Amino acid sequence: MALIELDGVTKVYPNGRVALRDVSLSIEEGEFVFVVGPTGTGKSTLLRLLYRDEAPTRGRVHVAGFEVHRLRPGAVPRLRRELGVVFQDFKLLPNRTVFENVAFALWAVGTPAEWVPGRVRASLELVGLADRADAFPHELSGGEQQRVSIARALANGPRILLADEPTGNLDPDTSWEIVKLLSRINLRGTTVVMTTHNKTVVDVLRRRVVEMNDGRVVRDEVRGRYARPGALP
Amino acid sequence: MPGLAHFPDRPRPTQPRPVPRRGRVRWSTWGYGLREGWLGFRRNGLMTVAAVSTTAVALVALASSLLALWNLRVLADAVDSQLVAVVYLQEDVGPRQREAVQQAVRSLRGVRAVQMVPRDEALRRLERVLGGVSLRDALRANPLPDTLEVRPERPADLPELAQALRQLPGVADVTYGADVADRVLGATGLVRWAGLGGALGLAGVAAVVSYNALRLTILARRREIEIMRLVGATASFIRWPFLVEGTLHGLAGGLVACALSLGIYGVAVTHLARTWPFLPLVPWDRAALPLLGVVLGAGVVVGLVGSAASVARYVRL
């Protein structure tokens, strides 16, 4: 069993919109996967099924040994502790410092208080923000804010990092910084799944590319580009 | 351990991590819940005031109904213990038959004591009640019959006992304090239904206000809630502060209600005791503690119900 495995997954939202149609996908531990495709083709839904924000309508979802498609509500927190999630809008707490934002994640899962400062510092060092621990989010640039949210996602030492358009709000240079950081995190062994519209990043990095269209996986290449060879730009 | 080199203290990822079980909240969690609950309580200003004051109004209604019921109960007991059946003997009953009737009454079931009141004694009593007038002069003959005062074992059995007494030979009529007893019991029923019904309705309103206050807190803290969900905080961890806030609404409302109702009751008892010293009342110091317990308990229930409904509705897990 791969670290992440989807088998014939269909997701229909209560309003009748079909977000995923019979998707099967397998991701091994340590992989770096780009999920690309036009807006509204089910990329975000795919990630939301993985951290059990949504349940699949049909099909099976396995993540880190959890049978996500039939997970008891009480077991959902355990699944989510194996995952870190990063979003386009960072989702930082505006009235708390960088340190507190990262510490919040640790302390929300009941980490013993004496472990918290060390873990927060390790996380912030990993993203290169150890010296900004006392700053508030509004005092940071967009790229720095995203690095804080990555530090928070990593604080619990998850096996998988899910990033939903993490560079969507950032300029090209900053986007590169973030992607290089994610790449470095991947090299340390964390599996990374990232949805993106950033063609340059995908084409330069040449990692596994899963392309989605209208709720289906239409392409899955090991060292892919953003677009299909020969497709119109 | 891939990906974990920088977290030497972290347990191996393949081992199940300790998740606080449902219902077993860690100490730090308790502290967090109490702190956040208290913060929400203070931060919500007007909504907190609204929730606390509606809860207080509902609980004042509850407290006054309970006090009224308790006092009526005491009153009813006092009236009950004084209830007797009065047996009027027929005019033509002679002394020997009088003795026989008395014997027959004594042998009835449920009779505790029988006292003979001869017609002369009855007239003297009447004179006393009327303030010392001499009826003997005004009336040519004593119009009152001989009577027996029958004290029952249990006041509740009076109607049955009266029925049995009527069957005896030589008995003209039987009366008992039916109307008094019925009136006290009727008032008890009215207070029970109107007072407690009203208190229940108001408690519902208070729960709805608490529900709405909590909705605001949940809205204000939706970012924290979302992040807690994402990093894998347990449901009880996320919900606990909101339940604390709801409980605080109930406790604060209960304290206000207790202060109001016990304050008023204290004044009322003092006044009534001075005006009608014979009125049996529940003394203030005997009423205070049970009332405090019941009202605070009811407040906590109201706050908890409102906040739990809000959490169930607005906190997604």
* B209 and B163 in a common domain: no
Helix (H) or strand (E) holding A6: strand A4-12
Both structure tokens of A44:
């975000």
**pLDDT, tens digit only, all 233 positions of chain A:** 899 999 999 999 999 999 999 999 999 999 999 999 998 899 999 999 999 999 999 999 999 999 999 999 889 999 999 999 999 999 998 888 999 999 989 988 888 888 899 999 999 999 999 999 999 999 999 999 999 999 999 999 999 999 999 999 899 999 999 999 999 999 999 999 999 999 999 999 999 999 999 999 999 998 888 887 666 55
| B18 part of a folded domain | no
Q: What is the mean pLDDT of residues B297-306?
A: 90
* B43 and B168 in a common domain: no
Residues of B within 8 A of A77 (CB-CB) are: 19, 232-235
CA dist A28 and A43 (Å) reads 19
User: Helix, strand, coil % (nearest 5) of chain A?
Assistant: 35, 25, 40
Which among A107, A122, A152 has the least Cβ separation from residue B6? A122
pLDDT digits (tens, 9 = 90+) for B250-296: 899 999 999 999 999 889 888 888 887 777 788 888 888 888 898 89
* B112 and B233 in a common domain: no
Amino acid identity at B108 = L
* B214 and B273 in a common domain: yes
Residue B127: which CATH number?
3.30.70.3040
CA dist B154 and B159 (Å) reads 11
* B31 and B114 in a common domain: no
Query: Measured in whole angstroms, how far is the alpha carbon of residue B64 from the centre of its chain?
Result: 8
Choose the final residue of a domain: B143, B176, B209. Answer: B176
* B187 and B237 in a common domain: yes
Amino acid identity at B160 = E
Measured CA distances, A161 to A23, A164, A187 (Å): 20, 10, 12
Closest residue in chain A to residue B9, using alpha carbons only: A115
| B3 part of a folded domain | no
Helix (H) or strand (E) holding B187: helix B178-190
Give me the number of domains chain B comprises.
2
**pTM (whole model) above 0.90:** no
* B293 and B200 in a common domain: yes
Residues of A within 8 A of B236 (CB-CB) are: none
* B198 and B56 in a common domain: yes
Tell me whether residues A78 and B32 touch, CB distance under 8 A. Answer: no
* B251 and B168 in a common domain: no
* B93 and B52 in a common domain: no
| B6 part of a folded domain | no
* B113 and B163 in a common domain: yes
- What is the domain range of residue B200? 27-79+183-314
Tell me whether residues B22 and A74 touch, CB distance under 8 A. Answer: yes
CA dist B14 and B11 (Å) reads 9
Tell me whether residues B226 and A91 touch, CB distance under 8 A. Answer: yes
A1-82+158-224 — its CATH code?
Answer: 3.40.50.300
Choose the final residue of a domain: B148, B176, B204. Answer: B176
Both structure tokens of A5:
């495995």
Measured CA distances, B122 to A39, B92, B103, B164, B182 (Å): 103, 17, 21, 23, 26
* B191 and B147 in a common domain: no
Residues of chain A that touch chain B, judged by Cβ-Cβ distance less than 8 Å: 29-30, 51, 73-74, 76-83, 85, 91, 93, 104-105, 107-110, 113, 115, 118-119, 122-123, 125-126, 152-153, 155-157, 159, 185, 188-190
Both structure tokens of A142:
């967009």
Closest residue in chain B to residue A105, using alpha carbons only: B231
Question: How is A138-160 classified by DSSP, letter by letter?
Answer: GGS-HHHHHHHHHHHHHTT--SE
CATH 3.40.50.300-classified regions of chain A: 1-82+158-224
Choose the final residue of a domain: B161, B176, B191. Answer: B176
- Amino acid A26: pLDDT: 96
